């Protein structure tokens, strides 16, 4: 799974989430699947996760979502992601062992200080003089 908009650690997190979605969907969703092996509901959750990772105020210093003090997912997608990760997490060791170990290592990293209010990765990347939505 490759992200269209993420880079670095966020892209790795997205790829791990994509592999977990594939494992979960193959075992639990008995609907028509797209070429990535996901049903529409699992693909929608993965697209939602990509958007939330892109807008994460922590940026590349982001902790894993389970340890993050900022809960950016809405309740329903958060519950879906929790169910998916509980199922696929242990199975990741067999199917994608390096990603699973990297995720476990990232989970042990300390949580950085909370970013300032209204911090957003997109806002930080804007260069001075670039047009904003308000203009």
- Of 9, 28, 38, 2, the closest CA to residue 86 belongs to 28
pLDDT(13) > 70: yes
pLDDT(22) > 80: yes
| pLDDT for the residue numbered 133 | 46
pLDDT(102) > 50: yes
pLDDT tens profile 38-78 = 999 999 999 999 998 888 888 888 887 777 888 888 999 99
Distances (CA, A) of 21 to 6, 112, 120: 18, 27, 26
CB 46 within 8 Å of CB 18: yes
Q: pTM for this structure?
A: 0.77
Collapsed DSSP state (helix, strand, coil) of residue 26: helix
Task: Map tokens 């909370």 to a residue.
Answer: 114
pLDDT(124) > 60: no
pLDDT(134) > 50: no
Q: How far apart (Å, rounded) are the C-alpha atoms in residues 55 and 121? A: 5
pLDDT(135) > 50: no
The alpha-helical segments, DSSP class H, found in 29-64 are: 40-54
* Residue 17: half-sphere exposure toward Cβ, Cα within 13 Å: 28
Q: What percent of the chain has pLDDT over 90?
A: 31
């Amino acid at each position: 799974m490759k992200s269209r908009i993420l880079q670095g650690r966020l892209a790795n997190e997205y790829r791990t989430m994509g592999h977990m979605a594939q494992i979960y969907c193959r075992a639990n969703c008995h609907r028509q699947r797209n070429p990535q092996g996901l049903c529409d509901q699992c693909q929608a959750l993965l697209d939602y996760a990509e958007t939330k990772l892109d807008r994460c105020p922590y940026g590349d210093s982001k902790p894993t979502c389970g340890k993050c003090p900022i809960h950016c997912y809405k309740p329903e997608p958060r519950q879906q992601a929790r169910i998916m990760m509980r199922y696929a997490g242990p199975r990741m060791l067999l199917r994608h062992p390096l990603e699973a170990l990297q995720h476990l290592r990232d989970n042990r990293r300390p949580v950085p200080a909370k970013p300032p209010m209204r911090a957003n990765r997109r806002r930080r990347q804007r260069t001075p003089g670039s047009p904003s939505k308000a203009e």
